[in-house]
Copies of this chain bind each other. A is one copy, B any other.
Amino acid sequence: MELNIPLGYLLGQSLRVFRNQLVFEFKEKEIKLTLDQFVILHLLNANCDLIQQDLANQLQKDKSIIVRQINSLLENQYVVRLTNKEDKRKKNLILTKRGFEILNQMKEIASELSGKLLSGVSETDLKVFRNVLGTIHENGGAEEEFINCGLNQPK
A contacts, CB < 8 Å to B:
1, 3-22, 35-36, 38-39, 42, 46, 58-61, 107, 110-111, 113-114, 116-121, 125-126, 128-137, 139-140, 142, 145, 148, 152
Contact = CB atoms under 8 A, between A and B. Distances in A.
A17 B140 contact: yes
A3 B118 contact: no
A135 B118 contact: yes
A46 B3 contact: yes
Copies of this chain, complex-wide, total 2
A119 B139 contact: yes
Nearest to A47: B1
30 contacts: A1-B148, A3-B152, A5-B42, A6-B39, A6-B114, A7-B110, A7-B113, A7-B117, A8-B15, A8-B18, A8-B39, A10-B130, A11-B133, A12-B19, A12-B35, A12-B39, A12-B59, A13-B133, A16-B60, A17-B136, A17-B137, A17-B142, A18-B140, A117-B135, A117-B139, A118-B132, A118-B136, A119-B139, A121-B132, A121-B135
B120 A135 contact: yes
A33 B51 CA distance: 33
Top 10 A-B residue pairs of the complex, sorted by shortest distance between their CB atoms: A17-B140, A16-B60, A11-B15, A129-B132, A14-B136, A7-B114, A10-B133, A8-B18, A9-B39, A128-B128
